[in-house]
Amino acid sequence: MTEQTPPTDYLDRIPPHLVSAGDYEQEARQRLSDPVWAQIAGGAGDEITLRKNRTAFDTLEIIPRMLADFRHADTGVNLFGRRHKFPLLIAPIAHQQLLYPDGELATLAAANALETTFIASTLASTPLETIAAESTAPCWFQLYFQPQREQTLDLLQRAEAAGYEAIVVTLDAPISGLRNRVQRSGFALPAHIPTPNTTGYEPPAPRSLAPGSSVILNGFMADAPRWEDLQWLREQCKLPLLAKGVISPADAEQCKAIGLDGIIVSNHGGRTLDGLPATIDALPEIRAAVGHDLPLLLDSGIRRGTDIFKALALGADAVLLGRPYLYALATAGALGVAHLLRILHEELEIAMALSGRPDIQSIQPDAVKRR
């Protein structure tokens, strides 16, 4: 395939060979064009961080305990006044109509069926109001700072009015990373893929640069968000506000000092700056920095229920699922995403059962060790 269009032969039933997130990844690779595959699966630079997000999980071993009491076993977690049946949320990812005609609405249908929180992207192919109206599961909204505060405030107020339960502001992508695999593939977002949430927003006026100035450092980054912008957003936001893209314990402490309600430990799936630590490696230091009263979530690298288990053991309250659900979406639409969510639910339950951890609170640091 060379066209940058979604596949057309989606499965309407799940065949026996699809039993893991890895199986869906292999299936999607056969269905997607090379440019779209590069856009979805690729990372920044030499993809060191992309690989590390996975391999770091493999260095953690689970330490089982025997004869635990499972009479009141439970996978539920409390986040911002809402009881979640399972510590897994759907990460915000842009342009899902690249993979399935209904895009985010198909992913949302699966989230509704599995009662899983869906986080809608600013760059969704579907209007944020439509997503909220179609949701029966909890919905959060992921916010990118816009060039003008009035535009950012407009997005925030639209999300609040639509009924979203939390706002996730992404901090780690003020500019795009250099994704060499994507560059080599020739990918360009097709004209038919909409970005309705930002339609009508005026682009910023070009910045006048002195001779010899850097377009990146003195141009784009001169207008990038700063801590005072995050403080301003905290003052404007009526909902729980989480910062996504935090890797540094010092930044985590600053987010807490500003009054943010939670942090998502993330390196953007290895898609921004190559050479960052794996999120599972960064997690323990961030938990130590902010204490135990601030909700921490983690994304990047989750592929198995045992990965969820390991993240919970090292300090996460829940995790976000990214690329794997895109592979399931490209394979079988809402059916595929729902099946994948069910697989991960069962994998975590089996990990808890065989490790002697009957509830999320019992998955403590002594449940894992570094190999």
> Which of 83, 85, 7, 3 shows the shortest CA–CA distance to 327?
7
Q: Is the distance from CB of 91 to CB of 322 less than 8 angstroms?
A: yes
CB atoms within 10 A of CB 365: 11
- Cβ proximity of 233 and 152 under 8 Å: yes
Residue type, 58: D
CB 357 within 8 A of CB 68: yes
Catalytic residues: 268
| Amino acid letter, residue 82 | R
> Cβ atoms within 10 A of the Cβ of 63, count?
12
The reported pLDDT for the residue numbered 130 is 98
CB 77 within 8 A of CB 87: yes
CB 132 within 8 Å of CB 111: no
- 196, 341, 279, 271: which is closest to 40 by C-alpha? 271
What are the strands, taking DSSP E only, across 252-307? Answer: 262-265, 296-298
147's CB contacts (< 8 A; 6+ apart) are 201, 203, 204, 223
What is the domain partition of the chain in residue ranges? 1-9+80-174+220-371
For residues 263 and 286, is the Cβ–Cβ distance under 8 A? yes
Highest CATH level, class, for 1-9+80-174+220-371: alpha beta
Contacts 24+ apart (CB under 8 A), 64-73: 64/354, 64/355, 64/356, 65/355, 65/356, 65/357, 66/356, 67/356, 68/356, 68/357, 68/358, 68/362, 69/358, 70/353, 70/358, 72/358, 72/359, 73/352, 73/353, 73/358, 73/359
The CA distance from 320 to 313, in Å, is 15
Mean pLDDT, 10 residues at a time, over the chain (371 residues)? 65 97 98 97 98 97 98 97 97 98 98 98 98 98 96 98 98 93 96 94 83 86 92 98 98 98 98 97 98 97 98 98 98 98 98 98 97 84
Burial 128-139 (b: 16+ CB within 10 A, else e): bbbbbeebebbb
| Dist CA 6 CA 98 (whole Å) | 5
Residue 72: how many CB atoms within 10 A of its CB?
7
145: tokens are 């700072």
Contact 164, 139 (CB under 8 A): yes
